[in-house]
Structure 1
Amino acid sequence: MLKLISLQQLQLGMYIHQFCGSWLDHSFWKAGFVLDSRADLQRLQGSNLSGLWIDPSKGRDLPEVATAAQQQRPAPAAASNAQTRSAPPRAGMQQELQRALKVCAHSRQAVTAMFQEVRMGQALQMVQVEDLVQQISQSLLRHPDALISLARLKNVDDYTYMHSVAVCALMLATARQLGLAEHHVRLAGVAGLLHDVGKLAIPESILNKPQKLSDSEFEQVKQHPLAGGAILRQNLGVDALVLDVCLHHHEKADGSGYPHRLAGNQISLFAQMGAVCDVYDAVTSNRPYNRGWDPAEAIQRMSTWTGHFDQRVFQAFVKAVGIYPVGSLVRLASGRLAVVIEQHPEALLTPKVKVFFSTRSKLPLEQRVLDLAKLRGEERIVAREAPEDWDFKQLEQLWRTAPA
């Protein structure tokens, strides 16, 4: 299993699988080798890399720090409390939706205030950032669908702030799907919350423009990763991985992204995660100049973008949100239309849905919840449907309200 380590943990004999950071940050033209030169070790430890991935199956592993006696010793109270906080009891979807509404409202206010302070030249309050990430993470642990689904629904006026909240939640969920250690899951959440901080340097008249941006305006917007990097470098408490996501979440696997036109393994795992999460929330959100895509449509379209995303990261992301994410409009084999209300934890094609309309009679039906995992061979999803083709006014309310 791959492990993410700091430069200080790097030792001779380790197999370097991937660098974390821009190719500008080091002098090695590719990864995929056993580190057997002390000179190379010193060059790497003196570089600007944020970390790197090693493959213990092909080289030396991290040394075992704890002795057997230490492993048997009870954990300190603080560690025990932290572990308890990281694993709250599982909640039902409707129960967590109510909690997640409050978390979203609090996060919106906190991020708005925090970003306004940064706009005025004040330092980021990293304690506040960590607290927000913790609240969002706890909601996802209680139920992974609720907050992610709610955060997608945002007003045009709070897009910049709620987009940060949504990407934070998506990064946390994707990091857990990838099996990262909880420390790195938390860093992924912080990176998601701060990935667009550079947009504070872009005039609001451009960010909130109700029409398509001109070429010159888009060039200004494309400067926000560098602007964000400059802001984060002024804050000593910001981890290098968080900085890396801010700088490189618009890079693409084929090298056509910006600002550094990185490609393939030049883009760190965290930045690849940031790219997927950022795009998904952007394309599924209503903007001043266009309506957001249906969640299932977004997943389908993104899956066809050759050279855009790292496929391992994209697959983990899809496992986190579903092939038919909550809120997707789908057609069943029976001819009924339904909205997805909850994912199945293991079977992506069999979520819980709420049926409400007949395509045959063109009339509303009595609303019923179907667990498709329990109806194999009897009912299934045959297609996704475009909501705009049906002009349903209350689609969001269908999945947000308690089952009938």
Structure 2
Amino acid sequence: MLKRIRTDQVRLGMFIQSLEGSWLSHPFWKTRFMLENPGDLRALQNSGVQWLWIDDARGLGVTDAVAPAAQGPGAAPATGIAEPVVALVGEAPPAIYPNEFFEAARILERSKLTLMELFREARMGRAIDLDLCLPLVEDICASLARDASALISLARLKNKDEYTYMHSVTVCALMVALARQLGLDVEAQREAGLAGMLHDIGKMAMPPAILNKPGKLDEAELAIMRTHPERGHEMLRQHTRLSPQVLDVCLHHHERYDGTGYPHRLAGNQISLLARMAAICDVYDAITSDRPYKCAWEAAGSLARMASWEGHFDPQLFQAFVKTIGIYPIGSLVRLESGHLGVVVQQNPENLTRPQVQVFFCSHRRQAIAKELRDLADVRIYDRIVQREDPLRWGFRNLERLWLPEGLVPPGMVPSRGHDDGHD
């Protein structure tokens, strides 16, 4: 049975079901575990976590535990899959401005066409024209300065045939946004963006049969694909105008924090700051994108999965990344306590767990309801998010219509004539 207790009531032998408060500040990446280590107990009691949930059917219980019915408005759900919850003050992306969506769409379209040409030239062995890249990075930086959510939200809607080109644009935008979150200066933000834009240029040296394979690569093909960082580094070394940091991101964006990545198995701070940032941005966009051989994972669930991959990412940078895009990014499908399903359409700057949600479906009756914009930060709204949902499980398609401005067709929704997969 699940019980809500204070942190000072916790003792060894209890099974922790979920922790309340800020996921980014509690001492564990895992969300459910048996508390057996005295060091873990001390870390928990010295943390900022005040309340948590235990499962006394799987571990020790307490007699003065608070019953689930008494849970407060910020408590974790007592049913369903336990997931980490963030309650951050002043850390959310700025509010979306509808006009910026249209400008962001124009920037993405220009970027896509330019990257297609740039990568085509690279595939033919010609030098990269940086004069094509730099204005795009400037445009992306300017868009994110006006509204950090619009361009990144639109970029997620890329179609699978344009993955490599649009992936490079999206990683550029995510790198700039993360650099802003980290407080890096404007010049460092531009450098981070350029590094993101060029990080996968080595894929243009990969055999088309491998790059465009509509299925999982075998071991031999994977070994070849894993040479793309070094091939890209060689291509970019021809340019004296590129900084060592940009070259390093191209070479080391597949390194892992625990030293199990490639090509050089670097670990921790042996990996440069920008390369550690790129590792996070690259993976997030890859797993939230449709590919010929797999469907995209939904954004909120992708963050939870990435958090569980112990050793892959710099923990502090990953925390900053979650703050950058929100625990429930724009477009996430969520279930509310009322049983209604809705799509997150705008973040709440005061609390990332209480965004604005466009409600459109009743999970109890399994039928559509009249659309309603519900601001979960409004004290008059007695509803809250209890868990994320997978749109595919419900058979929902084209949910972007619920959060895009009327009349906007993102570049990624219009299929290109070419085919480009872009394996990692």
Q: TM-score scaled to structure 1, two decimals?
A: 0.75
Match of 1:302, as an amino acid? M
Which moves more between the two structures, 284-293 or 388-397? 388-397
Is contact 1:91–1:142 with CA below 8 Å preserved after alignment?
no
Match of 1:294, as an amino acid? E
Alignment of 1:115-134 (within 5 A): 115-134=119-138
The answer on 1:173 being equivalent to 2:184 is: no
Matched residue, 1:20: none
Matched residue, 1:316: 320
Structure 2 spans left out of the alignment, 5+ residues:
1-93, 408-424
Q: Deviations over 1:54-101 (max 9, x none)?
A: xxxxxxxxxxxxxxxxxxxxxxxxxxxxxxxxxxxx884322111111
Of 184, 202, 207 in structure 2, the residue corresponding to residue 198 of structure 1 is 202
Match of 2:354, as an amino acid? T
Q: Distance in 1 between matches of 2:362 and 2:99?
A: 29
The answer on 1:287 being equivalent to 2:291 is: yes
Q: TM-score scaled to structure 2, two decimals?
A: 0.72
Is contact 2:341–2:359 with CA below 8 Å preserved after alignment?
yes
Matched residue, 2:343: 339
Match of 1:239, as an amino acid? S
Q: Distance in 1 between matches of 2:108 and 2:154?
A: 8
Aligned residue pairs total 314
Alpha-carbon offset, residue 362 of structure 1: 1.3
Q: Distance in 1 between matches of 2:315 and 2:344?
A: 25
SS state at 2:274 partner: helix
The answer on 1:114 being equivalent to 2:115 is: no
Is contact 1:94–1:402 with CA below 8 Å preserved after alignment?
no
SS state at 1:400 partner: coil
Alignment of 1:166-245 (within 5 A): 166-245=170-249
The answer on 1:275 being equivalent to 2:284 is: no
Q: Distance in 2 between matches of 1:393 and 1:158?
A: 20
Alpha-carbon offset, residue 346 of structure 1: 4.2
Is contact 2:330–2:345 with CA below 8 Å preserved after alignment?
yes
Is contact 1:297–1:384 with CA below 8 Å preserved after alignment?
yes
Q: Distance in 2 between matches of 1:176 and 1:147?
A: 15
Alpha-carbon offset, residue 344 of structure 1: 2.4
The answer on 1:348 being equivalent to 2:338 is: no
Matched residue, 1:365: 369
Q: Distance in 2 between matches of 1:361 and 1:127?
A: 56
Alpha-carbon offset, residue 133 of structure 1: 0.4
Q: Deviations over 1:345-398 (max 9, x none)?
A: 342212221111011221111112122222487221110001111001221221
Moved over 6 A (4+): none
Matched residue, 1:136: 140
User: What RMSD over aligned residues (CA atoms) do the two structures have, in Å?
Assistant: 1.6
Matched residue, 2:392: 388
Q: Distance in 2 between matches of 1:221 and 1:92?
A: 38
Q: Distance in 1 between matches of 2:198 and 2:386?
A: 39
Is contact 1:133–1:189 with CA below 8 Å preserved after alignment?
yes
SS state at 2:403 partner: helix
Against the structure 1 CA distance between its residues 388 and 326, is the aligned structure 2 distance closer, same or farther, given a 3 Å change threshold?
same
More helix by share: 1
Against the structure 1 CA distance between its residues 185 and 346, is the aligned structure 2 distance closer, same or farther, given a 3 Å change threshold?
farther
Against the structure 1 CA distance between its residues 91 and 390, is the aligned structure 2 distance closer, same or farther, given a 3 Å change threshold?
closer
Against the structure 1 CA distance between its residues 200 and 375, is the aligned structure 2 distance closer, same or farther, given a 3 Å change threshold?
farther
Is contact 2:375–2:381 with CA below 8 Å preserved after alignment?
no
Of 98, 103, 106 in structure 2, the residue corresponding to residue 102 of structure 1 is 106
Is contact 2:343–2:358 with CA below 8 Å preserved after alignment?
yes
Against the structure 1 CA distance between its residues 392 and 234, is the aligned structure 2 distance closer, same or farther, given a 3 Å change threshold?
same
Of 350, 372, 378 in structure 2, the residue corresponding to residue 374 of structure 1 is 378
Structure 1 spans left out of the alignment, 5+ residues:
1-89
Against the structure 1 CA distance between its residues 138 and 346, is the aligned structure 2 distance closer, same or farther, given a 3 Å change threshold?
farther
Percent identity over the alignment is: 53
The answer on 1:146 being equivalent to 2:150 is: yes
Against the structure 1 CA distance between its residues 167 and 376, is the aligned structure 2 distance closer, same or farther, given a 3 Å change threshold?
farther
Against the structure 1 CA distance between its residues 264 and 370, is the aligned structure 2 distance closer, same or farther, given a 3 Å change threshold?
same
Q: Distance in 2 between matches of 1:216 and 1:346?
A: 50
Against the structure 1 CA distance between its residues 350 and 129, is the aligned structure 2 distance closer, same or farther, given a 3 Å change threshold?
same
Is contact 2:101–2:405 with CA below 8 Å preserved after alignment?
no
Q: Distance in 1 between matches of 2:378 and 2:204?
A: 48
Alpha-carbon offset, residue 327 of structure 1: 1.2
Of 376, 399, 402 in structure 2, the residue corresponding to residue 398 of structure 1 is 402
Alpha-carbon offset, residue 161 of structure 1: 0.3
Q: Distance in 1 between matches of 2:209 and 2:306?
A: 29
Q: Distance in 2 between matches of 1:278 and 1:176?
A: 17
Is contact 1:93–1:342 with CA below 8 Å preserved after alignment?
no
Q: Which has the higher contact order (CA 8 A, sep 6+)?
A: 2
Q: Deviations over 1:232-271 (max 9, x none)?
A: 1011111111111111110001100000000011111110
Q: Deviations over 1:307-357 (max 9, x none)?
A: 000011101111111101111110011111011112223422122211110
